[in-house]
Structure 1
Amino acid sequence: MDFDDQAQLDSSQVENRGRGGIPGGGLAIGGGAAGIIALIVALVFGINPGDITGGGGAENPGVQPSSDLGEKCKTGADADQDEQCRVVGVVNSLQDYWSTQVDGYQKAKTALFEQGVQTECGAADSAVGPFYCPVDRYIYLDLSFFNQLESQLGAANTPFAQSYVIAHEYGHHVQNLTGTLEQSGGEGADSGSVRVELQADCYAGVWAKNAVDTGFFAKPFTDADIQEALDAAAAVGDDSIQQKSGGQVNPDAFTHGTSEQRVTWFTNGYKSGDPARCDTFSGSI
């Protein structure tokens, strides 16, 4: 992926909160890779960390950005050179696209953090992976997740794999605005949770097809870029994660869909470029 060097970035859409504390120690995390994977099973690309922490909305999350991204993230050239600036560029492109597709679109900010963060959905730490909080309409992301994606889940830590993850989370924001996020819930191969997650994958593919039209990228994504996204989607399938964590594949515990399903729905979105083709709630998935 190659940003347009002259594209002007809006860094106000991304906050860098730095290292955050979680009162009372926050989440109790199991030790080693198995513990981390177990949490990723529950929340990777998830929606609400409060469901696991048992906490409700956190009072006064205390947004205090640790550094001003505007000082270093000004153009597409910066996004090509710096990981945080790349997040800014991808977020800018996503919001530019979805503002043309959703009537009355309201922008969602992304908060970068390290180790732990307070949100209106509760407290979370890095092991939960990226997530969207529908209460405060923020996407929360610890960039160290991408190292885990590679070292523990087997997907390469590449620019477009990262972009897919961010695009998936903004898919949840679109669902929140349009009302389909409310259909999330339950476990199992045909559950509302799986259908919501697969639609977010499809929305990520739709954005990828249309991203160059937002003006932030110099050219359409290459086949190699798209393959990076497909590899990441496959790595976070329920069946793949269950196997990597040493267990048997149990469809009754699915919450995000199989590797094949996640690849299929991203591909559906990418080939069609049409959000209307992302109806995962009708018929089989």
Structure 2
Amino acid sequence: MTFNDNARINTQRTQKRSGGGKTAAVGGGSLVVVLGLWALSALTGVNLMPLAGVATDATSQLGGGSSAAVELENCDRGSQANERDECRMAATADAVDQFWTEQVSNYRPATLILFEGATSSQCGTASAQTGPFYCPPEEKIYLDVGFFRTLSSQYGASTGSLAQMYVLAHEWGHHISKLIGTINVDRASGQASGSVRLELQADCFAGAWMRNATSAKDQDGNTLLAPITEAQLNDAMSAAAAVGDDHIMQSSGMRVDPERFTHGTSEQRQRWLMTGFTEGPTSCNTFEVPAEKL
């Protein structure tokens, strides 16, 4: 999906941090460490490490450092969003925020934090290793755009524009789950667990935004986004498949263990993304779906 070149981008939902420390590799090859850091956090989900009691050990090995707020430069036009990942994320935050403002009563916006290397949050250290995540206490989304390269090189996802937008729209979906109260679920793992249902709801919310993305306007009333093409939709579906629990386990050389699922299979993630895309946000109550139909 591309932004109209002359559209004016509102970047007030986005902040940028610079000067964070570099991250160190996390030791240990246990499934808990691998899936705790990657599947629970990096794979476009809520950072659950502190809630699961993993963060203390994991983030102690990350060079969090201090990060200073810096200006997000040259990101005020659609043409810039089409050229630079950071600008694309800022513009996507503008478009996603507009959509949910109209959908959720008593809505309040999330804030997107762009960073490089590492930065601190109330949910633990944000880094390229932990990937994008939503921090519920802060109502902030943390994202290092370098994650998109990792998603492509290690897990085979498309690097297309809508694939990237899907990642952010998914994280914003967790914010919507917080606002409507569904984020407070049992975080146990398993095929039909609360964790899986929460992630699939965020996928569905991402699809619901994609369905209505072209409704976003700039302050002059110009349309922000051009219509989605079939190729771009396939890019988003590629990203959704890449972050399925079964695909991650297979790619990591692990046995596929449904009892360890926290995000859903590739098929589920694609299906719920398309459910939101074809039916809208009212179709996204994954918590009422029987386990056999999830």
Please identify runs of 4+ aligned residues in structure 1 that moved more than 3 A.
Answer: 34-38
Query: SS at 2:256's partner residue?
Result: coil
Note the aligned Cα RMSD (angstroms). 2.3
Give the TM-score normalised by the residue count of structure 2. Answer: 0.86
Partner of 1:109: 111
Q: CA deviation at 1:21?
A: 3.0
Q: Which amino acid aligns with 2:45?
A: G
Identity %: 41
Partner of 1:21: 21
Structure 2 CA distance for aligned equivalents of residues 203 and 275 of structure 1: 6
Query: SS at 2:169's partner residue?
Result: helix
Partner of 2:289: 283
Q: CA deviation at 1:84?
A: 1.1
Partner of 2:69: 65
Q: CA deviation at 1:30?
A: 3.2
Q: CA deviation at 1:31?
A: 7.9
Partner of 1:95: 97
Partner of 2:254: 247
- Greater shift in the superposed pair: 244-253 or 79-88: 79-88
Structure 2 CA distance for aligned equivalents of residues 36 and 234 of structure 1: 22
The answer on whether the counterparts of 2:45 and 2:132 sit within 8 Å (CA) in structure 1 is yes
Q: Which amino acid aligns with 1:64?
A: A
Query: SS at 1:54's partner residue?
Result: helix
Partner of 1:42: 40
Taking structure 1 as reference, are residues 86 and 219 closer, same or farther at Cα in structure 2, changes over 3 Å only?
same
Q: CA deviation at 1:249?
A: 0.7
Structure 2 CA distance for aligned equivalents of residues 185 and 178 of structure 1: 17
Taking structure 1 as reference, are residues 104 and 202 closer, same or farther at Cα in structure 2, changes over 3 Å only?
same
Partner of 2:164: 162
Partner of 1:259: 266
Any idea what the Cα deviations from partners look like across 1:17-50, whole Å, max 9, x if unmatched?
024138xxx7761389x99964312322221342
Structure 1 CA distance for aligned equivalents of residues 34 and 234 of structure 2: 23
Q: Which amino acid aligns with 1:13?
A: R
Any idea what the Cα deviations from partners look like across 1:112-146, whole Å, max 9, x if unmatched?
11221111222232211110000111100011110
Unpaired segments ≥5 residues, structure 1: 56-60
Unpaired segments ≥5 residues, structure 2: 58-64, 218-222
